[in-house]
Amino acid sequence: AQSVTQPDIHITVSEGASLELRCNYSYGATPYLFWYVQSPGQGLQLLLKYFSGDTLVQGIKGFEAEFKRSQSSFNLRKPSVHWSDAAEYLCTSNNAGNMLTFGGGTRLMVKP
């Protein structure tokens, strides 16, 4: 069965610092991969997605992610974090129809 792993449960960065959130998937073929962000009390908002083609994908709010098949990873990055980026970040994959498999999430805290 496919699985998605986010190794970091919590991450704290200083405002203005760079950010990388890790995501690993396990599946034989190339899955469809997504990153969602969830602010407190809110639903999930799609940041970006990867289906095929260019392995570096750009998303909203200045985020980007890179698909690396050799490492089974789809890490999320942002060059300079803003205080408003503090939230829960969820990596997910879709490789069987419309069924999503979610990672455990990474909670990002931003220090002033």
Partner 1 sequence: ETGVTQTPRHLVMGMTNKKSLKCEQHLGHNAMYWYKQSAKKPLELMFVYNFKEQTENNSVPSRFSPECPNSSHLFLHLHTLQPEDSALYLCASSQVGGFRDEQYFGPGTRLTVT
Contact between 94 and partner 1 per CB under 8 A: yes
Can you tell me which of 1, 28, 29, 41 binds partner 1, judged by CB under 8 A? 41
Alpha-carbon distance of 82 to 73, in angstroms, equals 24
Can you tell me which of 14, 80, 104, 111 binds partner 1, judged by CB under 8 A? 104
We find the least distance from the C-beta atom of residue 14 to partner 1, in angstroms, to be 26
Q: Which is nearer to partner 1, 54 or 112 (CB)?
A: 54
Contact between 90 and partner 1 per CB under 8 A: yes
Could you give the C-alpha distances from 109 to 8, 9, 38, 81, 93, in angstroms and in order? 12, 11, 13, 10, 24
Contact between 32 and partner 1 per CB under 8 A: yes
Residue in the block written with tokens 């980026």: 85
* DSSP E strand boundaries for 1-112: 3-5, 10-14, 19-21, 24-26, 32-38, 44-50, 56-58, 64-68, 73-78, 87-96, 99-102, 106-111
The number of residues that bind partner 1 (CB under 8 A) is 24
Interface contacts to partner 1, rule CB under 8 A: 4, 32, 34, 36, 41-46, 49, 51, 90, 92, 94-95, 97-100, 102-105
